[in-house]
Amino acid sequence: MEKKLTGLSRRYAAALGKHLKQGPQASLSPALGLGRRAVGLGLETLDLARIHEQALATFELSNIKNGFTKLATVFFTAANIPIEETHRATRQGKADMSRIKESLGRRTEELAASQRRLQHGVARRKVMDAAAAKCGEDHKKSLEESLQLQKRLRQLTHRVMVAQEDERKSISRELQDEIAQTLLGINVRLLSLKQHARNSTNGFKEEIASTQRLVLKSAQSVRRVAREIGYQRESPDGASASP
């Protein structure tokens, strides 16, 4: 590194001397080139100022007219331009980096907030799914229980209807038997009346009264059985059942 600095100092002094000889019309390209070289070596403005002072000491410009001092100042200023540009680029880069970091910070906060909202949404969705699943299971269970109750109700209704039908059949047979027996009794009484009417009139009125009692008894039996049948045909809520 020291060797490179020494070489840069020699080239700077030579380029400065040539610039002073050419005067105000001299090109500043050599100075810019030296400045870029200094940037490549990592030198700062203060380092380049020391190199410039060493070159001035070599030329003893303090004993030369003021015009050469101005030319030397212009040369140094031109040589320092790449360093200043580097500083500006560095400052701009730092500013850009600061803005980038600030933007990244905001973006990170936004992403964190979005992540929290997403996690909250996922947790809420899980709760809703669990509630929906439980509701579905409860609904399925209630439906199954309802179907079972309907099935048992149909079976019970069928058994009740069968029992009612059996009861009606039994009452119908009982009615038929009782009416048949009563009618048979009436027929026997009529035959007896017919026989008594031929032989004598004694006891004729009593036989007629007895026969009337049988007829009345038969009518009462019919009404009783009809009432029982009508009662059996009533539904549990009091409405008439279908035939």
- Per residue in 8-60, pLDDT tens? 888 888 888 888 888 888 888 998 998 898 888 888 888 888 888 888 887 76
pLDDT of residue 230: 63
Question: What kind and span of H or E run contains 137?
Answer: helix 66-199
pTM: 0.40
- Per residue in 143-178, pLDDT tens? 888 888 888 888 988 888 888 788 777 777 777 777
The CA distance from 194 to 209, in Å, is: 14
Position 243 pLDDT exceeds 60: no
The CA distance from 20 to 10, in Å, is: 15
- Enumerate the domain spans of the chain: 2-109, 156-232
